[in-house]
Structure 1
Amino acid sequence: MQMVQETFEDLGFALSDVTFVVVDLETTGGSAAECDITEIGAVKVRGGEVLGEFQTLVRPTAPIPPFITVLTGISNQMVAGAPRIESVLPSFLEFAAGSVLVAHNAGFDVSFLKSAAAHAGHPWPGFPVLDTVRLARQLVHRDEAPNHKLSSLATLFGAQTVPNHRALQDARATVDVLHGLIERVGNLGVHTLEELQSYSSRVTPAQRRKRFLADAMPSAPGVYVFKDRRGEPLYVGTAGDIRRRTRSYFTASETRRRMAEMVGIAESITPIVCATRLEAQVRELRLIAQHKPRYNRRSRQPEKALWVKLTVEPFPRLSIVRRVKDDGAHYAGPFGSRKSAEQAITAVHEVVPLRQCSQRLSAKPGTSACVLAEMGRCGAPCIGGQDVSDYAAVAERAAKVLVGDGREVVQALRARLDALSAQERFEDARALRDRMLALVRAAARSQRMAPLAKTPELVAARRSEAGGWEVVCVRYGRLAATTVTPRGADPVPFIAALRATAEVVAAPEGPTPAAFPEETEQILRWLETPGTRLVDLQGGSWTCPVGGAGQTRAQLEPMSRTWGGFDRDREHAALSGQRPLERPPGALRADAAERTAKVET
């Protein structure tokens, strides 16, 4: 049997087995970037027993300020013959190896140690760190001690050493404070390193009492389902390590209020171990769609997704629908909200004179037209302004942006955007930008999914972390099977078995996949990850239009993250997709003052 050494990342590491190195530094000032260490003191303890001590003075690169000498008692004469930090640091790192670093106000001490390591060219080992100040703030109330300074806590816990701003003395006092704090949290049921590191008084008693629910969870990738006393799912999640993730719900690392409420109701956790991360992600989506757990916020209503449809009739128009049919119409989507679907339609109407009336038109013209015809925004097929063949050319432009090469429409939108930006109509430009993004995002989604939705079977593989291969079988855009081959084994028999046992998936109706779109998109992200290899593709072709919405989306997406400030140069550059102009400090204030002066004159 192979023995596996436990690490500090194992959430079950008992505090009695943890080696702590309590460290304290004296320095020439408060900034790690500008000041030096003058003394290091450290005490190594485990299970309440002192295992060793480390102490040395350090010669700084600059004289010690007089007020620091008064505070610590360390003078320039005392450190004149002391070694430099470059000589001291390797010995300290060896002394502290394999331990948890503890300090009072740990951010200060660790920042100096990291800075010293960087200057000396030593890689920082990445010690787990415990801060006794942070822990004391959770456990020691004002009626017990006037503050959380080391001297006050040492008095409270009856430390055998009085801190005096010398490194080793202060480290010894911190050891006693640490033991006093550990005793307090032990009475509250905290017995492991992770629980101590993340302890917070914000963790409810219900959360602490129910930590046992995660004890039986496997340390494996997969899905976990929190359930109430009736067995109804409350929350579904996915994790690379189910045990580690579920245990975090019972500590202060979980800060979401609704999760604390959920844990208070939960009575059990059901783990579902998965072969691959992709399988776990897909199972999560399916379980959320099936059970609609009340504490999950996303993916709960995939069946209610909206699509924009270019209708099939003599004079097609754009409409918002919930169902995609195999009726020869063109679709874009899905959209997460009606607002985004309406924005996409408005973007098309901005440059394509499609009719916007909702009634069904016949080839026989009527007698009156709407105001859009008077504005030149519609060719007025309703009154015979366009016949079916003339209008078909207009509809073809709209169809291209939904399912094909939409560069003509997008270029017209970009020209409109540039014109608004040049006129400094930034609010209108931002609104148009948002409509463009809604359109190209949805079009890109449908164009990416369509080829996979039409493919009867696709098999792909990529290297797993263990050295074998992760293999997936996808049918009509739905994950039909997945497996991991052993390291060094011939993957061909495993792939054959995978295909033989994969789920039988019927061809879907219309251009949508046989799964909810979010599942197909998750599969596409996996397939597009560098290193993925296409093993076999049957009955289809996996292509996207050259001038499709994906390319346009990549160009426009950064615009959604630009700030909407008042600097007209930057605003114009951001909205027109150009590089913002670099301006010297104070330029904004100078411009504002200049404009104010002009107004006053």
Structure 2
Amino acid sequence: MTDRQSTAGAGSIGEVIARLPDEPGVYRFRDASGRALYIGRAVRLRRRVRSYWGDLGDRRHLRRMVPQIVRVEAAVCASAHEASWLERLLLEESRPRWNRALGGAEVGLMIILDRGRARVQVVHETGLPPDDELIFGPFLGGTKVRLLASAIHRVHPMIYAREQLSGAERDLGRIRGVGVQDRDRMVASVIAVLERRPSAVAEFLAALELRRDTASRQHSYELAGQIHQELAAATWLLAPQRVAIGADGRTVDERDLYGWHDGVLVRFTLRSGRIRGWQIRDLGDRASRQRVAATPSQWRDFTESNARLAAALRHVAD
């Protein structure tokens, strides 16, 4: 197995950039010897990568790096949240010379659903929760995660569906139309949202939009602004995210995940539910077949789409 590297002029770099999708993902720059120079993330890969050959703005320290770039690699992700996680995980394993930090200032947090107390709580990553608690995540971004917890309480105020309430709490529950009989239903809805079930997420985001628009029509602009922030955080955090899983502490799966297309093999290394490595190599169909066949079906769309992208970029550069 060889990892072919070749120099690329400005023209071929431009062709590579033109083949990048305008989707979220992670990109990696390499020099003529194959060394990784930089790993970054993008909401729109093509636009972000192209920016390095334009005005770098507050990234002026990267000007000396750009002439050394001879290969661009990219991995497309299902969401900006997933791209943020993938960048962070890759940089935790190996930080290229031109990366100053681990990638972003976001903190990885979990959300615990305490069914006994009918509430959600934001915590740092931990082990197995107590029997009556469920743990979801990880979610990336401390402020965003707390805004999501606030949004959950706004749409599903479970705290007012407990059996033991103060007089003031009972009054607030009546105002919200919530009683003990609603508790199981709301708990189930919150679980569905935090598990990112598409229909539950869509319904949850629509409920937030309705509350924001209602507050705006009533000229409660401060409240509308708060809900808008919650909506933005929820939209970001509840989008599909596969590269950082294993929130319950039981995931110990360690394996290599493969995708192959047109002579190019892509390998992602999975450790304890996290993608920790990303390699791209040339390899024939026959030698790749067994590796790809051993990749679990739930990862196939991720590995195969990135193999197609890797092949498209590699063949242009070569």
Q: TM-score when scaled to structure 2?
A: 0.55
SS in 2 for 1:219: coil
Over 3 Å counting, the alpha-carbon distance change for 1:301 and 1:498 in structure 2 is farther
Aligned position for 2:193: 401
- Is the alpha carbon distance of 1:219 and 1:454 closer, same or farther for their aligned partners in structure 2, counting shifts above 3 Å? same
- Other-structure match for 1:485: 282
> Where does 1:75-154 land on structure 2 (aligned, <5 Å)?
none
CA distance in 1, matches of 2:187, 2:7: 67
In the other structure, the counterpart of 2:172 is 375
- Residue 461 of structure 1, aligned match among 260, 270, 281: 260
Which residue is equivalent to 1:318? 120
What is the distance in 1 between the residues matched to 2:282 and 2:35?
Answer: 17
Q: What is the DSSP-based 3-state SS (H/G/I as helix, E as strand, rest coil) of the residue aligned with 1:355?
A: helix
- Give the equivalent residue in structure 1 for 2:228: 433
Show the counterpart of 1:329. 134
Q: What is the deviation of 1:334?
A: 1.1
Query: Which amino acid in 2 is paired with 1:396?
Result: A
Task: Answer whether contact 1:330 1:402 (CA < 8 A) is retained.
Answer: no
User: Residue 223 of structure 1 corresponds to which residue in structure 2?
Assistant: 36
CA distance in 1, matches of 2:233, 2:156: 16
- State the distance in 2 between where 1:447 and 1:425 align: 38
Change (3 A) 1:401 1:353: same
Q: Does 1:347 align with 2:151?
A: yes
Q: Secondary structure at the match of 2:171?
A: helix
The 3 A distance-change label for structure 1 pair 427 and 222 is: farther
Q: Give the distance between the partners of 1:335 and 1:284, measured in 2 at CA.
A: 10
CA distance in 2, matches of 1:305, 1:470: 31
SS in 2 for 1:309: strand
Q: Structure 2: how far apart are the matches of 1:314 and 1:374?
A: 21
Separation (CA, whole Å) in 2 of partners of 1:343 and 1:7: 46
Deviation at 1:307, TM superposition (A): 2.4
C-alpha separation in 1, matches of 2:211 and 2:61: 46
Q: 1:423 — aligned with what? A: 218
| Residue identity opposite 1:460 in structure 2 | G
Shift of 1:321: 0.9
C-alpha distance in 2, partners of 1:377/1:474? 52
Give the counterpart letter for 2:189 in structure 1.
R
| Correspondences of 1:494-505 after superposition (within 5 Å) | 494-496=288-290
Which residue in the other structure is 1:391 paired with? 183
Change (3 A) 1:474 1:494: same
Cα–Cα, structure 1 residues 259 and 421, in superposed 2: closer, same or farther, change >3 Å? Answer: same
Shift in alpha-carbon separation, 1:415–1:223, aligned structure 2, 3 A: same
1:422 Cα offset (Å): 3.5
Deviation of 1:435 after TM superposition, in Å, equals 0.5
Q: Distance in 1 between matches of 2:292 and 2:223?
A: 54
Residues 544-595 of structure 1 show CA distances to partners (whole Å, capped at 9, x for unaligned) of xxxxxxxxxxxxxxxxxxxxxxxxxxxxxxxxxxxxxxxxxxxxxxxxxxxx
| CA distance 1:348–1:527, change in 2 (3 Å) | farther
Distance 2:139 2:239 in 1: 10
Q: Which has the higher strand share?
A: 2
Partners of 1:325 and 1:6 lie apart in 2 by 47
Alignment match, 2:108: 305
Distance 2:281 2:159 in 1: 53
Deviation at 1:286, TM superposition (A): 3.5
Within a 5 Å distance, the mapping from 1:243-322 to structure 2 comes to 256=58, 259=61, 277-278=74-75, 286-287=90-91, 296-297=100-101, 299=103, 304-311=107-114, 313-322=115-124
- How far apart are residue 432 of structure 1 and its match? 1.3
Query: Does the 8 A contact of 1:417 with 1:429 survive in 2?
Result: yes
- TM-score, with length taken from structure 1: 0.32
2:267 maps to which of 472, 486, 492: 472
The offset of 1:323, in angstroms, is 0.8
Q: Deviations over 1:235-287 (max 9, x none)?
A: xx249xxxxxxxxx9xx976647728x98xxxxxxx9x999655xx9798544
State the Cα distance separating 1:332 from its structure 2 match.
4.2
Equivalent residues of 2:144, 2:237 under 8 A apart = no
Question: CA offset at residue 392 of structure 1?
Answer: 2.6
Instruction: Percent identity, please.
Output: 15
Q: Deviations over 1:205-262 (max 9, x none)?
A: xxxxxxxxxxxx94255413xxxxxxxxxxxx249xxxxxxxxx9xx976647728x9
> Gapped runs of 5+ residues in structure 2?
1-5, 13-29, 41-51, 76-82, 311-318
Structure 1 Cα separation of the partners of residues 146 and 258 of structure 2: 37
> CA, structure 1 residues 370+448, in 2 after alignment: closer, same or farther (shift >3 Å)?
farther
1: CA distance, partners of 2:90 / 2:140:
19
3-state DSSP of counterpart to 1:412: helix
Tell me the secondary structure at the aligned position of residue 296 of structure 1.
Answer: coil
What is the alpha-carbon distance in structure 1 between the residues aligned to residue 210 and residue 183 of structure 2? Answer: 24
Structure 1 counterpart of 2:119, one-letter code: R
Q: How does 1:508-547 map to 2 (within 5 A)?
A: 528=305, 531=308
Q: What does the per-residue CA deviation read over 1:454-488, in whole Å, with 9 as the maximum and x for residues that have no partner?
A: 9766432234xxxx2233245344256644235xx
Equivalent position SS for 2:239: helix
- Conserved in 2, the CA contact under 8 Å of 1:353 and 1:377? no
Count of matched residue pairs: 249
Distance 1:309 1:446, change over 3 A: farther
1:7-86 alignment to 2 at 5 Å?
none
Query: Aligned-pair RMSD on alpha carbons?
Result: 5.4
